[in-house]
Structure 1
Amino acid sequence: MDLQVKGRRALITGSSSGLGEAIARLLAAEGADVVVHGRDVTRTEAVAKDIGAVAAIGDLATDAGADAVATAAGEIDILVNNAGAYDTVGWPESSAELWQRTYNVNVVSGIRMIHRLVPGMRDRGWGRVVQIGGGLAMQPMAMQPHYNATLAARHNLAVSLARELAGTGVTSNVVAPGAILADATRDLLIGLAPSHDWGTEWPEIEANAVKSFVPNDIGRFGRPDEIAGAVAYLCSPYADYVSGATLRVDGGAIRSVA
């Protein structure tokens, strides 16, 4: 299926690894002119070279870093705000300073790029802005309260931006992943399997780990490529009629009729 993004220039923040890298690879395969972003020069340039993309280096938690990335990226048609950070800190340890730092990294960094790149989309009459959110925005857990709140902020700002951009040809939406299987996650689960009696073979370990940690209708963890597919759809002309929406890709983990 041709997603009709050939020739569109796309910046995916935080795309030197993980979900961001999967999104960058798929959009590049679909013919988009991709800009790979990261803070680590070696890793970012390696991904960019592998997929025939441009590398943009900078810390989006600072104005100077955002300026550097915007300059390297140039005129952008598609902005995917994926960059962010999380930890396993609970309420007792989540200081006000940690809340502020996490909000800056996970929310304000995306706003910096919106301010720098979306006006050009509006002027040209076409564009896509996609926030990477998550189910914890709607059903937060006790752990990571500061991280949960930043996901909710990403969802909220995406809808507000959609209203701001009404009638301009630029859309704003959210992709909300569930628990996604990265290499480090797989290694962790295999290491935990003996003490939790999850079995010895990977299919059994994954199924039992899902039941324990992230129950969902599919019975497994999501894959980065599945998130990339949802993002690519929202970036395509097939999503012209999608505005201010949240596309959940979580195996049915979030139980909601809305």
Structure 2
Amino acid sequence: MNLDLIGKRALVTGSSAGLGEATARMLAAEGAAVVVHGRNRDRAEAVAAAIREAGGTATTALGDLATDEGAAEVARAATAGGPVDILVNNAGFYRHVSWAEATPAEWSDTYNVNVVSGVRMIRHLVPAMRERGWGRVVTVGGGLASQPMDSHPQYNATLAARHNLAVSLARELKGTGVTSNVVSPGAILVDATRELVTQIGPARGWGATWEEIRPNAVDALIPNDQGRFGEPDEIAAAVAYLCSAYAQYVSGATLRVDGGLIRSAF
């Protein structure tokens, strides 16, 4: 399917690695001019260069979205080459901590990075989309929004907030031609996922090597109909669809991409 994103400009936050990088690459392959965002210049430039080498169009925008000043700088850089039509709020982080370790400061920091940063970019970019009568906002959330684990509660809660604000935004944008949706990944095999599972696997009896740990981790953590971890491109494809003209009738929706997750336990 040709998603016909030629002529559209897309900012993907947190796209110097992981799901954001996969999304930036896929949007560029579908014809969008992509703005790669990150805080590390070398990493962001490397992703943009790879997109250009593959025949796509890509620039970079550097800045810390956790501050008003950093978000404003990213918005200025992203719109320097033209108005942004597509905003993918992907940037976020978590620390794997217990309830006892999740201090109020940890909660506050995580909320600022994972929720308020996205709000900053919405405020910078969505008004112009509304004026032009076309736009896409896609928030990358997660299954932990509705099936939280007993650990890193501050992160679980921010995912729920991301889902909630995206639907609220959709209601606000009623009749404007701008949509707001959520892509909710299951456990996707990015570096951070593999590192975490490898770290905790031996103590939980899942094995000593990645080949042993991987299937046991799926069974224990994310039993699903596909029997595996997801891949970054599978999330990127869902985002790309929601950014296309084919998804004009989809707004305020949460698109699960989790293999048919049965439950979440940790």
Alignment TM-score, normalising by the size of structure 2: 0.90
- What is the count of residue pairs matched by the alignment? 254
The correspondence of residues 1-258 of structure 1 with structure 2, limited to 5 A, is 1-52=1-52, 53-74=58-79, 75-186=83-194, 189=197, 196=205, 198=207, 202=211, 205-253=213-261
Q: In 1, distance between residues paired with 2:77 and 2:206?
A: 50
- Cα contact 2:222–2:262 (8 A) shared by 1: no
Residues 128 and 224 of structure 1: CA distance in aligned 2, closer, same or farther (over 3 Å)? same
Residues 58 and 254 of structure 1: CA distance in aligned 2, closer, same or farther (over 3 Å)? farther
TM-aligned CA deviation for residue 207 of structure 1? 2.2
Residues 68 and 46 of structure 1: CA distance in aligned 2, closer, same or farther (over 3 Å)? same
TM-aligned CA deviation for residue 40 of structure 1? 0.5
Q: In 2, distance between residues paired with 1:97 and 1:183?
A: 26
Q: What is the SS of the residue equivalent to 2:156?
A: helix
TM-aligned CA deviation for residue 217 of structure 1? 1.3
Q: In 2, distance between residues paired with 1:87 and 1:201?
A: 22
Q: In 1, distance between residues paired with 2:163 and 2:36?
A: 23
Alignment TM-score, normalising by the size of structure 1: 0.93
Residues 187 and 141 of structure 1: CA distance in aligned 2, closer, same or farther (over 3 Å)? closer
Give me the CA root mean square deviation.
1.8
1:204-225 CA-to-partner distances (Å, cap 9, x unmatched) read 6432220022211111000000
Residues 186 and 149 of structure 1: CA distance in aligned 2, closer, same or farther (over 3 Å)? closer
Q: In 2, distance between residues paired with 1:235 and 1:184?
A: 26
Residues 137 and 254 of structure 1: CA distance in aligned 2, closer, same or farther (over 3 Å)? farther
TM-aligned CA deviation for residue 254 of structure 1? 5.0
Alignment correspondent of 2:55: none
1:115-135 CA-to-partner distances (Å, cap 9, x unmatched) read 000001000000000000011
TM-aligned CA deviation for residue 191 of structure 1? 7.1
- Cα contact 1:133–1:174 (8 A) shared by 2: yes
Q: What is the SS of the residue equivalent to 2:100?
A: helix
Q: What is the SS of the residue equivalent to 1:91?
A: coil
Q: In 2, distance between residues paired with 1:201 and 1:221?
A: 13
Q: In 1, distance between residues paired with 2:114 and 2:200?
A: 29
Q: In 2, distance between residues paired with 1:63 and 1:113?
A: 10
- Cα contact 1:27–1:34 (8 A) shared by 2: yes
Q: Which runs of 5+ in 1 are unaligned?
A: none
1:82-101 CA-to-partner distances (Å, cap 9, x unmatched) read 00001111111111111111
Residues 197 and 94 of structure 1: CA distance in aligned 2, closer, same or farther (over 3 Å)? closer
